[in-house]
Structure 1
């Protein structure tokens, strides 16, 4: 069986991994991303506190609309905290899944 010459020249095994030394400013970018995660978590805590207050005010004043909005706010704040906290793990998980494809 004769294969074309172009097929024989293609590399059979390509291994490329992230390079933390490739570009200047990578450490500063990591610092900025870490600070952004911290700000996101602080804002999620603030949103959780405010939503819990709205929920309690709505429940105590017999206002179901306000109580419902407070409940939704609590769930959104908890979801935001989960995404902020798990973002690195999620990216690493999907990176590893992509490497196995």
Structure 2
């Protein structure tokens, strides 16, 4: 019990929390980030298409290295698409989780 009380005294809460609308350019920054996210998703669609073509070409031509690279590219592109699509939700989840921890 004393350890818990001691740890509470060590942790200092500066009282800073995110404030919506605090800066005048916040809406512009959101638009820029949304546009970058969109460009990233479009690029990932292209990368996924190329990787799938390399995978199919390597499989049908007997090029094992091309097939392996196509598989690798497909997995990387799929993970990038997942990350880009879920970025906002991931940040919102952990931001809300961090505000509840005291």
TM-score of the superposition, structure 1-length normalised? 0.82
Partner residue of 2:42? 42
CA drift of 1:20 comes to: 2.2
| Distance (whole Å) between structure 1 residues aligned to residue 71 and residue 64 of structure 2 | 10
Q: Equivalent residue of 1:19, what SS?
A: coil
In structure 2, the gaps of 5 or more residues are 1-12
| Distance (whole Å) between structure 1 residues aligned to residue 21 and residue 54 of structure 2 | 48
Q: Say how many residue pairs are matched.
A: 89
TM-score of the superposition, structure 2-length normalised? 0.81
In structure 1, the gaps of 5 or more residues are 1-12
CA drift of 1:18 comes to: 2.2
Task: Render the CA deviation track for 1:40-81: whole Å, top value 9, x for unaligned.
Answer: 100110000000010011001101110000000000000000
Q: Which has the larger radius of gyration?
A: 1
CA drift of 1:35 comes to: 0.2
Q: CA RMSD in A?
A: 1.6
Partner residue of 1:94? 94
